[in-house]
């Protein structure tokens, strides 16, 4: 996740349990909780899923609009059992691959799992197609008293206008394995094998991208510039390959979603899957562009505080002049758990479960997939978290972010396999809120004016990275999809990207030419088109929620936990309307930026 910040090491221990103070936490995860040696027992595990699929297929003749609920509901339960078993096997394959993308055995197993599970999934396609054909009256009858599965059933019917015939849907599923998924895998394999070289104290060192990234926030401007130049040098050297990968993915997206499924625009596909109205996303992106000036003003203030002349794109993540520290992994966990406990002991206990059950893979290694993620596999199973912890302060915020995702899934464990995952925009709520909890806890502990100033700088850096920057990624994607449809080259895309970045920063911050290749380094743009507005959505929503918390205090906590426990069992509009949010309102999104503007005012007062 992109939300990262720099933090001062906590010295307050009153919120930290004795167990936290003395524990030594494992730094590699244990995948045995997913299955016992799934590589060895793959055929046995698959045979069990296949028998469930066969039982589901056998009920096909009973599927009619007038069928009895006594037949319909057990069919839903069987469908859920199939999804649970498949998800565990898929999770094992992806988590193993994530440990080392260059591991040929892991890659081979992942390919085999995807291929075999897709074949089984194709045998279930008939159910969704039948369910979409049921008349409204009988659909309401059959959905009555289906509990947390109701929204799942409504979701299937929501995509009816864009659904193909059964043979066509099967072909698309097969095509994605050897097409889109394979191209995405190629991007991961190529980019995760990249190495970078940087001269440090006169010695030239080779490092991974995660290690290089720490220098993008180095105290010395020349090191930041050198790190950025090296990052984009390596990616630019492969711009032909990476650019063609991107163009292929975009053309695939267009062919399936616009030409076959008849969506009105490339982004409309993502919006429907998120159950977010097109007009709400348009409002969000419009308000983000309108408020770019807030961050331009912020970076001018930061330049003065950090004594940077002139301010360039190399410098926007420059650290404050407070002492920079490196952190032990054990201490980082204690800091996050203490902050969570100060807000809600229940959240802290859930986060601690992830740690003690060894569901975190923490350290960076050659070949390990970059970035960080949380994988909530099935309800009632503790999620898995991947980090690339290098000891930088920003890694602590990443940990708080990913553990937020984990506790979100754990709070929603009472829902079905199909509805415990939140929809994408709301999926960032707990993760971003977790970062705010951590930042606020450290701010409250700190009395030194300069350190507090640094913490405020870090929060604003973080908000920029997860609000405006993400919105501009999506603005670029909107243009790129249209340009590629018109035959644009990779260099055309690069020029457009650079123009967007320069518009974002205005005239006061110079953006060097090499930033035209930044889009090649963003995995979400390749793997999940238009994904990134979820970060803007989630962060602005959290700013509003956190304001409520600051006003209401402890009485807010139960309402917040209830919101998280909803998971994906209701539409985002329904969930947010309960707390008075109208996501299509520009005024709502503007209120988030008004809060950010207030933080910039607060920072300016410290000059």
Question: What is the per-residue pLDDT across 362-375, written as a single tens digit (0 to 9) for each?
Answer: 999 989 998 899 99
If DSSP codes are grouped into helix, strand and coil, which group holds residue 48?
helix
Comparing 453 with 426, the larger pLDDT belongs to 426
pLDDT digits (tens, 9 = 90+) for 455-491: 889 889 989 999 999 999 999 999 999 999 999 999 9
Of 423, 161, 133, 272, give the one whose Cα is nearest residue 142. Answer: 133
- Name the more confident of 230 and 13: 230
pLDDT at position 323: 58
The mean per-residue pLDDT over the stretch 292-312 comes to: 95
Confidence label for 429 from pLDDT (cuts 50, 70 and 90): very high
pLDDT computed for residue 12 by the predictor: 29
Angle formed at CA 70 by CA 65 and CA 71, multiple of 5 degrees: 60
Quick one: pLDDT band at residue 36, thresholds 50, 70, 90? Answer: confident
Q: Domain 34-99+103-188 classified CATH 3.40.50.2300?
A: no
| Position 450 confidence tier, pLDDT thresholds 50, 70, 90 | confident
Q: Which listed CATH number (1.10.10.10, 1.10.357.10, 1.10.1370.30, 3.40.1190.20) goes with 18-27+323-466+541-604?
A: 1.10.1370.30
Q: Concatenated DSSP letters for 436-496?
A: HHHHHHHHHH---HHHHHHHHHHHHHHHHHHTHHHHHHHHHHHHHHHHHHTT--HHHHHHH
pTM: 0.81
Quote the percentage of the chain above a pLDDT of 90. Answer: 81
pLDDT at residue 449, as a whole number: 77
What residue has token string 């079905």? Answer: 416
Helix and strand numbers (H, E) in the chain are 28, 5
Residue 322 has what pLDDT? 66
- What is the distance between the alpha carbons of residues 240 and 245, in angstroms, rounded to a whole number? 9
Higher model confidence: residue 23 or residue 116?
116
Give the pairing of strands 373-375 and 203-207.
unpaired
What average pLDDT score do residues 216-231 get?
A: 95
Q: 166-170, 261-265, 449-453: lowest mean pLDDT where?
A: 449-453
Which of 339, 333, 563 is closest to 437 using CA atoms? Answer: 339
User: 23: pLDDT confidence band, cut at 50, 70 and 90?
Assistant: low
The domain segmentation of the chain, as residue ranges, is 18-27+323-466+541-604, 34-99+103-188
Q: What is the pLDDT of residue 392?
A: 82
User: Is the pLDDT reported for residue 358 higher than 90?
Assistant: yes
What does the pLDDT average to over 503-513? 95
CA distances from 32 to 37, 194, 208 (A): 7, 30, 28
Mean pLDDT of 132-152: 94
Task: Report the pLDDT value the prediction gives residue 453, as an integer from 0 to 100.
Answer: 84
Choice among 437-441, 443-447, 590-594, 598-602 with the minimum mean pLDDT: 443-447
Work out the average pLDDT over 209-232.
94
Does residue 20 register a pLDDT over 60?
no
- How far apart are the C-alpha atoms of 560 and 579, rounded to whole Å? 10
- Distance of alpha carbon 194 from alpha carbon 366, whole angstroms: 9
Q: What is the pLDDT of residue 324?
A: 63
Mean per-residue pLDDT, 388-411: 93
Say what the pLDDT of residue 422 is.
92
């Amino acid at each position: 996740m992109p939300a990262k910040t720099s933090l001062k090491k906590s010295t307050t221990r009153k919120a930290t349990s004795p167990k936290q103070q003395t524990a030594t936490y494992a730094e590699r995860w244990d995948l045995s909780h997913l299955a016992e040696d799934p590589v060895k027992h793959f055929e046995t595990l698959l045979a069990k899923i296949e028998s469930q699929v066969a039982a589901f297929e056998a009920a096909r003749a009973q599927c009619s609009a007038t069928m009895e609920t006594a037949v319909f509901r057990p069919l839903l339960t069987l469908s859920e059992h199939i999804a649970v078993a498949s998800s565990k096997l898929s999770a094992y394959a992806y988590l193993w691959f994530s440990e080392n993308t260059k591991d040929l055995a892991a890659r081979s197993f992942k390919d085999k799992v995807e291929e075999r599970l897709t074949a089984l999934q194709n045998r279930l396609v008939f159910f969704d197609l039948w369910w979409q054909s049921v008349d409204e009256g009988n659909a309401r009858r059959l959905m009555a008293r289906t509990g947390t599965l109701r929204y799942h059933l409504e979701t299937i019917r929501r995509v009816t206008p864009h659904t193909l015939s059964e043979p066509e849907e099967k072909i698309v599923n097969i095509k994605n394995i050897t097409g889109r998924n394979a191209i995405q895998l190629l991007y991961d394999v190529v980019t995760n094998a990249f190495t970078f070289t940087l001269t440090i104290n006169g010695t030239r060192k080779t490092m991974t991208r995660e290690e290089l990234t720490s220098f993008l926030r180095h105290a010395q401007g020349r090191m930041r510039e050198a790190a950025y130049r090296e990052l984009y040098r390596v990616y630019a050297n492969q711009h032909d390959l990476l650019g063609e990968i991107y163009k292929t993915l975009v053309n695939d997206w267009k062919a399936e979603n616009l030409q076959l499924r008849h969506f009105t625009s490339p982004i409309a596909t993502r919006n429907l899957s998120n159950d977010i109205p097109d007009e709400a996303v348009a409002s969000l992106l419009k308000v983000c562009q309108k408020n770019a000036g807030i961050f331009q003003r912020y970076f001018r203030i930061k330049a003065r505080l950090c004594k940077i002349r002139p301010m360039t794109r190399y410098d926007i993540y420059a650290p404050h002049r407070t002492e920079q520290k490196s952190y032990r992994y054990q201490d980082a966990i204690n800091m996050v758990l203490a902050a969570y406990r100060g807000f809600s002991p229940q959240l802290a206990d859930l986060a601690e479960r992830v740690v003690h059950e060894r569901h975190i893979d923490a350290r960076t290694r050659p070949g390990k997939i970059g970035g960080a993620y949380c994988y909530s596999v099935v309800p009632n199973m503790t999620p898995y978290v991947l980090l690339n912890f290098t000891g930088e302060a920003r890694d602590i915020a990443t940990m708080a972010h990913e553990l937020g995702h984990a506790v979100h899934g754990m709070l929603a464990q009472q829902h079905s396999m199909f509805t415990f995952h939140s929809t994408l925009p709301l999926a960032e709520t707990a993760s971003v809120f977790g970062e705010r909890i951590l930042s606020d806890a450290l701010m409250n502990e700190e009395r030194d004016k300069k350190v507090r100033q640094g913490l405020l700088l870090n929060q604003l850096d973080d908000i920029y990275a997860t609000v405006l920057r993400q919105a501009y990624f999506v603005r670029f994607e909107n243009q790129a999809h249209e340009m590629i449809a018109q035959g644009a080259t990779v260099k055309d895309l690069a020029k457009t990207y650079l123009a967007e970045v320069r518009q974002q920063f205005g005239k006061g911050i110079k953006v060097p030419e090499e930033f035209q290749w930044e889009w090649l380094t963003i995995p979400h743009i390749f793997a999940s088109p238009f994904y990134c507005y979820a970060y803007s959505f989630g962060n602005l929503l959290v700013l509003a929620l956190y304001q409520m918390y600051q006003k209401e205090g402890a009485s807010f906590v139960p309402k917040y936990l209830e919101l998280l426990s909803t998971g994906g069992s209701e539409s985002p509009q329904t969930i947010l309307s309960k707390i008075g949010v109208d996501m299509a309102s520009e005024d709502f999104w503007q209120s988030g930026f008004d809060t950010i503007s207030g933080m910039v005012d607060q920072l300016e007062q410290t000059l």
